[in-house]
Amino acid sequence: MTHSISIRKRKELENKFIKIFEYDMLSVPVGFRRILADDLVSAFESRVDALNQAQTNLQFKAITEGDVYVETFKTRNLY
């Protein structure tokens, strides 16, 4: 996977993840915290890349009132 964010921004995100989950990772050794933060950044980056790719593949079609069919039906009053 090619990285879509700079190394500096990646390290900033890792540090933010470590800070956010600081309390939750108290029992995790410091080296593993870095590994976990790196994995979180990789997952986040992958999601952003997938969403960006999906967005570029979207095709919007404008609809007009004539394109919409609405049918109404009478229901019994249950109250």
Confidence of residue 12 (pLDDT cuts 50, 70, 90): very high
* Whole-number Å distance between alpha carbons of 47 and 16: 18
Q: Is 42 exposed, middle or buried (0-12, 13-18, 19+ CB in 10 A)?
A: middle
Residue 2 predicted with pLDDT over 60: no
pLDDT digits (tens, 9 = 90+) for 19-53: 998 899 899 898 999 999 999 999 999 998 888 88
First vs last C-alpha separation in the chain: 59
Residue 18 predicted with pLDDT over 80: yes
75: enclosing H helix or E strand: none
pLDDT digits (tens, 9 = 90+) for 49-69: 888 888 777 766 667 777 777
